[in-house]
A and B are shown apart, each in its own frame.
Chain A
Amino acid sequence: MNPVGQAGRKGEQVRSDCWISVELRDGGGVSIDLVSKVESMYGASIRDAVGKGVAALGVSHAKVEVNDSGALPFVLMARLEAAVRRARPDLKAELLPEMKPWATVGTTRDRFRRSRLYLPGNEPKFMVNAGLHGPDGVILDLEDSVAPTEKDAARLLVRNALRTIDFGRAERMVRINQIPAGLDDLDWIVPHNVHVVLIPKCESDDQVEAVDERIEKIRKAKGVKTPVYLMPIVESALGCIKAYKIAKASENVVALTIGLEDYTADIGTQRTNDGRESFWARSQVVNAARAAGVQPIDTVFADVVDMAALFASVQEAKALGFDGKGCIHPRQIEVIHRGFTPTDAEIEKARKIVIAFDEAQKKGLSVVSLGSKMIDPPVVKRAQRTIELAIAAGVLAADWREGGGGNA
């Protein structure tokens, strides 16, 4: 029997995806059977892409069936490659879509990470417009949102998304699978300008080191120049106990976050709205992150309807010391950003401190003072951050020193 590989989805409910079957043959060339919702518009283009795709993967003889529900080209190519790979597991070649100019943007270690939007890694329809909603980060998820049987297909889709989609100003993040299985995910994403790798269910510094080493190896092999940052997620009692070591495990760690669903199960309780059961863990993460000099980021808020509850939760997170929060629906982004926006009183205080700092610098003083009070360096740093946040949120003009008029 000829080897057959199938990938993707078809059916009435399916949108923006396709199902592809590839039967490898010994002769007879490549035949393509296409059924497509967009036949009249892109039928020729799909046949052309499939023909070129199988050739690029080194397949000369095959029966290819495509059932298309309006898949965009990056999806079509990912599904085709997944089908061929399933028919021929030892396949070396990759079918890489052209790297778009907007996919080459960089990131910085200290950028804001107020909101991060989770996108299921095997669901194409939410990916293309995710950046339009303005999150600080998008997370292409290979872990819990992907069925165990679809991990291979999701890797290819995520890789193609990284190469082709304009995520705007959002930082490009991928949540890999739990270590050690997740290490293999890295091969598929590190060469394609991923900014931050999220390490789920992280319980030790060894796991962070393993990820870091694997990334380093791939960077060298593929000539990747830009750094790949890490954001471990602690989701267990052990992870929380080791939070500081985890945050300190690599200089590439830029943030530490917490996953409360698994954590509460692990400590033998349930999540409540009150959140008393997770207070220690969240504080532990804040303190571990701050001690390690990385950003503490709060868990995901799962109720996508109750925006008032989300806002309250963001304010609580901010009060606990967190810099960001996870979300699963784009409508949550604006609420999260609003929640992390400094208040007028906070901005006013920060302005005074920053101006005092600037004046001390100008005068060459090593001590910053405001009135009769000495201002310590962490307070100055915090004030500068508050000003940056206020500017990013659009509540303070970028040229506030000139326009805003100093001490009000």
Chain B
Amino acid sequence: MPKTPGLAENAVGRLVPAEINGREAVPYKGVAKHRPTGNKAAPKIATCADYPDDGNKVVSDIKAALLKAGIRDGMTVSTHHHLRNGDYVANAVFAAAAEIGVKDLMWFPSASFPIHKPIIEHMKNGVVHHIEGSMNGPLGEFTSRGGMKGMGVLRSHGGRYQAVQDGEVHIDIAVIAAPEADPFGNANGVNGPAACGLLGFALADSQYADKVIVATDNLIPFPCIPWQIQGNYVDIVTTMDCIGDPTKIVSGTTEITKSPDRLRIAEMTARFVRDAGIMKDGFSFQAGAGGTALSFAIYLADMMKEAGVKARFVRGGSNKYLVEMLEQGLTDYILDGQTFDLDGVRSMRENPRHVNTSPFTSYSYHGKGNFASMVDVTVLGATEVDVHFNANVVTHSDGKLLHGIGGWQNCLFAGCTILPIPSFRDRIPVLVDEVTTLCGPGELIDVIVTERGIAINPLRQDLLKAVAGSKLPIRSIEEIKAEVEDICGGAPAKPKFGERVVAAVKWVDGTVIDSVRQLAG
């Protein structure tokens, strides 16, 4: 078993590793305190003479592509999650790597899903050393139990871009799943049997990786239009029978929650946005996937219609309901990070006001500004929130690592951040004394909407004033927590952890905000 590296206390009082997989790590210093200097990382100089004049970069299969890219032990290999739980590409890449016989690869996905469970075998047999990305579901459980050799690193979508841009992570080989591509490597996600919308999560990799492979099941003659990924960055193109399962990439139907409590929470969230005066002409909002966020958007759209209010832009994950808002003129634009259903894909393909974005435009710490902080109100989830408004999105209250950060941390910079969450799930309190893993500092989290009332962060006196006199059930977070503990039969015991840090949680600037310990027993 690897040794636990030395720990340091960071600005939010969490003990974090001072060293991660052999590299020095900077403990979290506070919001906007870390200011790296110097130049950004740069890819190797390429020479067009080294590539075929006819633009044909196609090789027979993934294995051939990896061999041509020069795969060897210890390399960093990246994939992306635009095919979500339908992705066949990441598994195919590591199966091929195993066949080739390379060891100790670092997998650098933009996110993982339960479909990536086979990677556990590759970690057991030494093909994969560790993961820096998200460790969802079975991979999270495996990591929490101490199964991974190296230390996992969890980054936000923006944090992933930051790490690539400032050289914290160097990608040796990027494999980009492409629903449509041409032999030159131009690629998009709007056409083809595995159409998923956009390929923004792969943008950094295409620009910064040493070798870029595009894998498609829909190879068309040059030119592939639109080229969301530019072939000029691409080394190798290869084909697969099928890059993903369309039924799991986009569901085709978007489930609205039927849970009365969640509907109540969604409606209260929309009423808050209205009554606090945030919902006004020219405003903007972002709401994620998930039943509560979907229902929030539906309630808000109704309130916007009633009040005759129009948004300037909304940020996706787009879905049928955001597309309806665009088509009904309730918003001028959708600035989309990913598409969650077929209506989203269609709209992106056909509507010039439905625009694809990337983690660079939206989230990157090393951009000269980004979109996320320009959004008036963002609606996000959480597994736990504590009385200081700190929130957790990666572990559950039992200490198990189960989710990635996604764009969550980046979105906290919106003008108003609202977490609509149930105050407890079954017998699991969501409001707690202290979050198990601190992913977002309370100073950036403004409002908690639960089925039992709305708690506003005391730092936001402006919001408290704005809703004073409204019919909204405004309560203190402590009061709601006490009620929940009474229902659940007392405060929950804390999970028992071992000493070893199995994963580090990065803040948007690359510093370490918390660590995840191995579960005891």
Contacts and interface: CB of A to CB of B under 8 A. Distances in A.
B428 A331 contact: no
Nearest to B423: A129
A132 B427 contact: no
B99 interface: no
A72 B264 contact: no
A65 interface: no
A41 B451 contact: no
Interface in A37-69: 37-45, 49, 69
Given A16-B427, A70-B428, A41 B493 contact: yes
Given A40-B496, A129-B451, A133-B260, A45 B490 contact: yes
Interface residues of B, number: 22
A73 interface: yes
Given A16-B427, A129-B451, A132-B451, A41 B398 contact: yes
A71 interface: yes
Contact of A37 (B426, B451, B487): B426
Interface in A82-139: 125-126, 128-129, 132-133
B465 interface: no
Interface string A1-21: 000000000000001100000
Tell me what chain B mostly uses at the interface: helix, strand, loop, or mixed: loop
B280 to A, nearest CB: 25
Contacts of B426: 15-16, 37-38, 69-72, 125
B381 to A, nearest CB: 18
B334 interface: no
Most A Cβ at <10 Å: residue of B261, B397, B425: B261
Contacts of A239: none
Given A39-B398, A41-B428, A132-B264, A73 B451 contact: no
A169 interface: no
A385 interface: no
Interface string B399-432: 1000000000000000000000000011110000
A44 B494 CA distance: 12
A45 B397 contact: no
Interface string A130-156: 001100000000000000000000000
A140 to B, nearest CB: 16
A326 interface: no
Contacts of B43: none
Interface residues of A, number: 26
Interface string A307-351: 000000000000000000000011100000000000000000000
B263 interface: yes
Most A Cβ at <10 Å: residue of B399, B427, B494: B427
Contacts of A42: 427, 488-490, 492-493
Contact of B487 (A40, A72, A329): A72
A45 B487 contact: no
Contacts of A49: 489
Contacts of A39: 398
A70 B260 contact: no
B488 to A, nearest CB: 7
Nearest to B428: A38
Given A39-B398, A40-B495, A44-B493, A329 B260 contact: yes
B427 A330 contact: no
Nearest to A304: B258
A126 B488 CA distance: 15
Q: Nearest 7 pairs between A and B by C-beta?
A: A70-B426, A41-B492, A330-B260, A73-B489, A70-B427, A40-B398, A40-B495
Interface of B: 260-261, 263-264, 397-399, 425-428, 451-452, 487-490, 492-496
Given A40-B397, A40-B495, A70-B426, 10 more contacts: A38-B426, A38-B427, A45-B489, A69-B426, A70-B425, A70-B427, A72-B489, A132-B264, A330-B263, A330-B264
21 contacts: A37-B427, A38-B428, A38-B492, A40-B399, A41-B427, A41-B428, A41-B492, A41-B493, A43-B493, A44-B493, A45-B490, A45-B493, A70-B425, A70-B426, A72-B427, A73-B489, A128-B487, A129-B451, A132-B261, A330-B263, A331-B260
